[in-house]
Amino acid sequence: MGKQEKIVSMFNDIAGTYDVANRVLSMGIDKSWRNKACNLAYKFYDKDKIEKIVDVACGTGDMIEFWKKIAKNNGIELKNIVGVDPSVGMMDVARVKLPEVEFIEAGAAQMPLDSDSADIISISYGIRNVVQRQEAFDEFARVLKKDGLVVISEFTKNEKNSLLDYITDFYMNKILPTLGGLISRNKEAYTYLPNSIDEFLTTENLCKELKQAGLEPIHTQAFSMNISTLIIARKL
């Protein structure tokens, strides 16, 4: 089993408890991060009618709910939203919550979607789980319309400079695996999470990779003591 298959199988295994674990472990803060990502993206895109949003690594459909709700709040007509994920287990949970949404089983690097068809592509806390990351960014560029946006929310690697950085690090590496393991009965999955952040890129390198794919970063912002980073890039 390759690295990508192992990650997908792990997410299939924890799908049933994923939403509860997420809310407990992030103490609900991820809701405000997702809110800000959607609001800012709609502001930058500046259209009151949007044909199509594609949410990649959509998991249990959390981000799709935010896109829909915030479009409504801002008086934006969102015609179509599609969820893409290689984990059938996660999407089974999403289908129950969002029966009206189309979900497609696929990885980020090979999506069965038309070129120049999406206004916005989002990936929230999923890009670090994509093994072929540069290929995924090339694929995002292919599927996006010209001037379309990529919206990435991710836990990025930061230098530890302050006491708060060390407290955050302790939480991610010691408390999170234990709590997540108790809720999901799969400690391995929640040990993988902080390790995958430590092995992950900095915001600067992520921006370089986006540029290589013809996606120009127009906004980067760190939230909550640099735990979460938002990057919005525009297809040139």
Q: In CATH, what number is assigned to the domain containing residue 83?
A: 3.40.50.150
Count structural domains, the chain: 1
Residue 96, amino acid? V
DSSP, res 219: E
Statement: residue 162 has pLDDT above 60: yes
Q: What is the pLDDT at residue 183?
A: 66
Q: Is residue 175 domain-resident?
A: no
Q: What is the pLDDT at residue 22?
A: 64
To the question of whether residue 62 is assigned a binding role by annotation, the answer is no
Q: Is residue 139 domain-resident?
A: yes
Secondary structure (H, E, C), 134-158? HHHHHHHHHHEEEEEEEEEEEECCC
To the question of whether residue 220 is assigned a binding role by annotation, the answer is no
Mean predicted confidence (pLDDT) in 123-148: 94
pLDDT 10s digits, 16-27: 666 666 666 666
DSSP, res 129: G
**Stretch among 21-25, 74-78, 213-217, 223-227 having the lowest mean pLDDT:** 21-25
Q: Is residue 165 domain-resident?
A: no
Residues spanned by the domain of 64: 3-10+27-157+201-235
Q: Which residue has the higher pLDDT, 91 or 129?
A: 91
Entry pTM: 0.81
Nearest Cα to Cα of residue 178 among 193, 158, 163: 193
pLDDT 10s digits, 93-126: 999 999 999 999 999 999 999 999 999 999 998 8
Q: Quote the CA–CA distance of 26 and 81 in Å, as a whole number.
A: 25
Q: Is residue 176 domain-resident?
A: no
Quick one: how many helices (H) and strands (E) in the chain?
9, 7
Q: What is the pLDDT at residue 126?
A: 87
Q: Is residue 178 domain-resident?
A: no
To the question of whether residue 196 is assigned a binding role by annotation, the answer is no
Q: Is residue 187 domain-resident?
A: no
Mean predicted confidence (pLDDT) in 147-157: 89
**For residue 101, what are the CA distances in angstroms to 47, 65, 94, 128, 236?**
22, 10, 9, 25, 29
Q: Is residue 52 domain-resident?
A: yes
Q: What is the pLDDT at residue 21?
A: 65
User: Are 153 and 124 contacting, i.e. CB atoms less than 8 angstroms apart?
Assistant: yes
95 contact partners, CB below 8 Å, separation of at least 6: 101, 103
Q: Is residue 116 domain-resident?
A: yes
**For residue 8, what are the CA distances in angstroms to 63, 108, 151?**
19, 12, 22
Strand ordering across the sheet containing 144-155: 102-105, 77-85, 49-56, 118-124, 144-155, 228-235, 215-223
